[in-house]
Chains A and B, each alone.
Chain A
């Protein structure tokens, strides 16, 4: 079964509104969570890396004030797309790893993804 849960799976919103996406590790403590976005027929692009209790590290070109990441607990990270615009429409995926999951093997465990459509 899934070890990382992402919610919501689909969201449609009006331009200018903010959208929050949650990523939860279900059976392990996720010391690190990653947020990606994926446009159609393209690979995953890392947006930011989030370690529990510290500020997220954003990749070059990703606006931290636009994409707010909070990793307040060892099982939950949230991505908030603020003042969303149509160009923010994309597939957003989180992944997580911790000592119990991926700590030795290095494997990443992915959430199911959230498809955002901004009208």
Chain B
């Protein structure tokens, strides 16, 4: 079983739509969670960390559900510039080798 599983999409949504991505992780010892954004042929860049209490940054909301072992990313009022691949990243933590695991990425295309 993969450490991190993500629906690869693609998600094609109209401008202004709300879209949500989910990501599940298998290791209950996972400590840190992140959403990264990767544009085509570019390196991933941190979009936001995911905190236990959930966190919001403008149009983006991230949530963590430890009991069900998944994290989510909600994008409201989608913009054309949101088109990218969104990577879910999980850090297992220093006591288990400090490994980072990446989901396969979810491709989003926002259509005019």
Contacts and interface: CB of A to CB of B under 8 A. Distances in A.
Asked if A and B are interacting partners, one says: yes
Interface of A: 6, 32, 34, 42-44, 46, 91, 93, 105-108, 110-113, 115
Given A44-B102, A106-B32, A107-B34, A93 B43 contact: yes
Given A43-B102, A43-B103, A107 B49 contact: yes
B97 to A, nearest CB: 8
A107 B103 contact: no
A93 B45 CA distance: 12
A42 B46 contact: no
A108 B100 contact: yes
A93 B98 CA distance: 18
Given A111-B43, A112-B42, A42 B104 contact: yes
A91 B32 CA distance: 26
B105 A91 contact: no
B110 to A, nearest CB: 19
A11 to B, nearest CB: 14
Contact of A110 (B32, B45, B104): B45
A106 B43 contact: no
A8 B78 CA distance: 34
A6 B42 CA distance: 12
Interface string B30-69: 0110100000011111100100000000000000000000
> Would you list the 8 A-B pairs with minimal beta carbon distance, nearest first?
A106-B32, A110-B43, A43-B104, A113-B43, A44-B102, A43-B102, A106-B91, A43-B105
Nearest to A105: B49
Contacts of A107: 34, 46, 49
B100 A110 contact: no
B43 A112 contact: yes
Contacts of B100: 34, 46, 108
Contacts of A108: 34, 46, 89, 100
Given A43-B105, A106-B31, A108-B100, A113 B42 contact: yes
